[in-house]
Amino acid sequence: MLSVTCLAMNAWLSPPPHLHLPIRRVDFWRVSLQRTAVETRRFWHILSAAEQERAAKFYFEKDRQAFVVGRGMLRLLLGRYLALDPRAVAFEYGEFGKPTLGSATELQFNVSHSQGKMLLGFCWETAVGVDIEQIRTYQAMSDIAHRYFSAVEYAQFLTVSPEQVPEAFFNCWTRKEAYIKAIGEGLSCPLDEFDVSLLPGEPARLIRIRGSEAAAAAWTLFSFTPFAGYRGAAVIAGRDWQPAFYDGDAFAG
């Protein structure tokens, strides 16, 4: 499996003036959701009326801003990939409120947020799942790992040194979340039915799915550092995917 865990943060490139997404390439974007009032107003004006109404219902300003910037950036990027006015992008919504483009296009995307940061993935034809998490420490970490990690993963988790526990935990968590988002089953897919690598410094791999290494080999797993103190992961069906990494804060729109 291709791993880019050691991708340097300065390797996230400024995007080209004209976005072109070839077949078999997957584009990843990192975005900071904390923006100036001027920038936030710019994003507000490209949201749909329903999205503006939804944004207005957030109690905390930081949550409202995160939604406006996140949805606005998604619209800008989709508009650029599809050569559309971003206000013309039409979403369909699944059972859990996840936005998709439906059958209108074969462009696939996925979005994840964590503590003021966003990660997006785009490709053609094949569903992609992404996850971003801020690496942090809390007391219940071991209990959560015991409950949700597979037996193989939990045994590996118990071998890491105390200072590596947060990194190992979020290595595992982001990779598992990315996989279940890629297959579109959410938490209806038991997290202990597949194994991922998690040890710090170890190549990122989807190891087994329901005990099958062959099933796992049919997927590509990416793991990387989108921001200092954050872990990101992405899973996409098939092999030979070429990744590109872009800094959304440098995107001119």
Taking domain 9-15+25-250, whether its CATH number is 3.90.470.20 is answered by yes
Cβ 99 vs Cβ 92: under 8 Å: yes
What are phi and psi for residue 171, nearest 5 degrees? -55, -50
Which residues does the chain have with pLDDT short of 50?
1-2
213-243 burial, b at 16+ Cβ within 10 Å, e below that, comes to eeebeebbbbbbbbbeebbbbbbbbeeebeb
pLDDT value for 186: 57
Locate the domains of the chain by residue range. Answer: 9-15+25-250
Burial (CB count within 10 angstroms: exposed 0-12, middle 13-18, buried 19+), residue 165 = middle
Q: What is the pLDDT of residue 185?
A: 67
- Chain-centre distance for alpha carbon 100: 15
φ, ψ (nearest 5 deg) of residue 103: -90, 5
State the pLDDT at residue 4. Answer: 56
Give residue 252's pLDDT.
64
The confidence score (pLDDT) of residue 1 equals 46
DSSP per position, 20-51:
---TTEEEEEEEE----HHHHHHHHTTS-HHH
